Chain A
Amino acid sequence: MTTALAAEAPAGCRPGAFGNATHLICRACGATSPLGPFYACLECFGPLEVGYEYPQITREQIERGPKSIWRYQPLLPVPADIASFRSTDPGFTRLVDARNLADDLGLRQLWVKDDSGNPTHSFKDRVVAVALSAARELGLQVLACPSTGNLANAVAAAAARAGIRSVVLVPSNLERQKILASAVYDTTLIAIEGTYDDVNKLASEIAGEEDDWAFVNVNVRPYYAEGSKTLAFEIAEQLGWRLPDQVVIPVASGSQLTKIDKGFRELIKLGLVEDKAYRIFGAQATGCSPIAQAYRAGHEVVAPVKPDTIAKSLAIGNPADGPYVLDVVRRTGGKITDVDDETVVSNIRRLARTEGIFGETAGGVTLGVTAKLVADGDLDPAAETVIINSGDGLKTLDAVSGQVGPKATIKPHYDAFKEFWKANNRS
């Protein structure tokens, strides 16, 4: 079914502006519409997703590309010359062979996909880079977002690099580090007195009024979300062009989890990896766990909640992709569960202590849930496991500030040091 949107398709886009992408398709009812700044289905309000007609794509073709997400250009809604535009060129972050952590958890083989290595230190640089391309090709003038912090950092930096204006809306109670790490790019940062869900509502209202704004996670969300597929592509390529057995992914809106699944399925479909079963697990903080609650209750829809957790980057009480997260974890034989804030903090420390990786609160959520899944027998300890660290602990210092610090404060004299060392290192 083709909707009336055809008549409203933006004119003036150059041929190939969206690469191999050909249309938008509603995930709820299947209605299709042309590519454009649309995100909700005209028929049912359902989420629109980018559809493609892929030519043959080879591993060698991808491997010849730049060491950034743009090596996967044929699989993204971006033009073939995307690498020639000014962007933050995110991606190709390290996949860490986490042997100490694997031993600690009792797993045979564990990898940490460490996305704190992106230009603004979270996975959001991936999605924003793709949204920026869509905004440019559609002729939109302002890059904007509602954000729990990481996205605001990524939008502000990407807009600065591209030389366009940005407006970022954040909850006023956000971590200070995240506010400063956006404001430094000279963006128009507006602190909103409310929760993320309040900010999101406001952004949707503004998006309905300002025709030349690209709200990356509202009106260009279908393109933006595709950026998360690059996590799946990189994991597979870095494993030597094969899929892992099980993956644990942090869940806020649920977009990243559903797109990692989409990325794996596309690799299989294109013959870039061998077809195999994999299981996808979701991780939430108990204080904002609407999808985990729906999973436990056996529901297909997600009832919104009011968030109360230190994991603010995951504090979305009304997750847009909630039903699709449930579909993915059930279809792949995975699960979605949650851990409390105390466990989040102890697992931030565990990741740091075992692997030298300082993850943000979302990383603590993911590792906490991973440990819980191992303890409950949900994760197969003999299977190859990948977990996602989506952001940098330097942005959520408050989480550990009461927990770690100097062992002692001493005078700058050797005697003082000797006294401390003797007192603290008796064997």
Chain B
Amino acid sequence: MSASVRIPTILRTYTGGEKEVKADGGTIAELIESLEQGYPGLKSRVLDDTGALRRFVNVYVGDDDVRFIGGLDAEVPDGAQVSIIPAVAGG
């Protein structure tokens, strides 16, 4: 299972400036492990010390916020577009 992951500006230091990268995994958790293999250090920016999604990070599979579809267990279909976005916006 391969997905395309949009990387927010503040994490592009880990991806050599790349705005979008490929990663593998059937779930968000697996996808983040895959990102860590390719871009060491990125995982700890997205997950907190307990391994949960950080409070101020939103992750989307397509248009769906993963918090509505199983959190880190949310399924990632082959070819999906995944976005990591800072949560602190709007209002």
Contact = CB atoms under 8 A, between A and B. Distances in A.
A252 B91 contact: yes
Going nearest first, the 3 A-B pairs with the smallest beta carbon separation are A253-B91, A40-B86, A45-B56
Interface string B27-67: 00000000000000000010000000011111010010101
Contacts of B6: 205, 208
A256 B90 CA distance: 12
A225 B88 CA distance: 12
B17 to A, nearest CB: 12
A209 interface: yes
B7 to A, nearest CB: 8
Given A40-B10, A197-B65, A201-B83, A217 B55 contact: no
- Tell which of B56, B57, B60, B63 has the most Cβ of chain A within 10 Å: B56
B37 to A, nearest CB: 22
B91 A320 contact: yes
A303 interface: yes
B72 interface: no
A117 interface: no
Report the interface size class on chain B.
20 to 34
A254 B67 CA distance: 20
Contacts of A209: 19
Interface of A: 4, 28, 39-42, 44-48, 146, 194, 196-198, 200-201, 203-205, 207-209, 215, 217-218, 221, 252-256, 301, 303-304, 306, 316, 318-321, 323
Among B9, B58, B68, B86, max chain A CB count under 10 A is at B86
B24 to A, nearest CB: 23
Given A204-B85, A205-B83, A304-B68, A40 B90 contact: no
A218 B19 CA distance: 18
Interface string B62-85: 010101100000000000000101
A45 B86 contact: yes
Given A196-B90, A217-B91, A301-B55, A45 B45 contact: yes
Contacts of B8: 40, 204, 208
B63 A318 contact: no
A47 B67 contact: no
Per DSSP, chain A at the interface is: loop
Contacts of B9: 208
B21 interface: no
Contacts of B57: 45
A207 B10 CA distance: 12
Given A44-B56, A204-B85, A318-B58, A304 B90 contact: no
Given A197-B65, A204-B85, A208-B8, A146 B90 contact: yes
A218 B86 CA distance: 9
Contacts of A301: 55
Contacts of A208: 6, 8-9, 19
Given A45-B57, A208-B8, A321 B63 contact: no
A79 B27 CA distance: 49
Given A47-B88, A256-B91, A316-B90, 13 more contacts: A39-B88, A44-B54, A146-B90, A203-B90, A208-B6, A208-B19, A253-B90, A254-B91, A304-B67, A304-B68, A320-B87, A320-B90, A321-B91
Nearest to A215: B89
B65 A304 contact: yes
A200 B68 CA distance: 17
23 contacts: A28-B55, A28-B56, A39-B86, A39-B89, A40-B10, A40-B88, A42-B10, A45-B10, A46-B56, A47-B88, A48-B88, A146-B89, A197-B90, A198-B63, A201-B83, A203-B89, A205-B6, A208-B6, A303-B67, A316-B91, A320-B91, A321-B91, A323-B55
A196 B45 CA distance: 26
Contact of A200 (B10, B13, B55, B90): B90
A318 B65 contact: yes
B88 A221 contact: yes
Contact of A221 (B54, B60, B89): B89
A371 B67 CA distance: 34
Nearest to B60: A201
Between B45, B55, B63, B89, the greatest number of chain A beta carbons within 10 A of the residue's beta carbon is seen for B89
Contacts of A200: 89-90
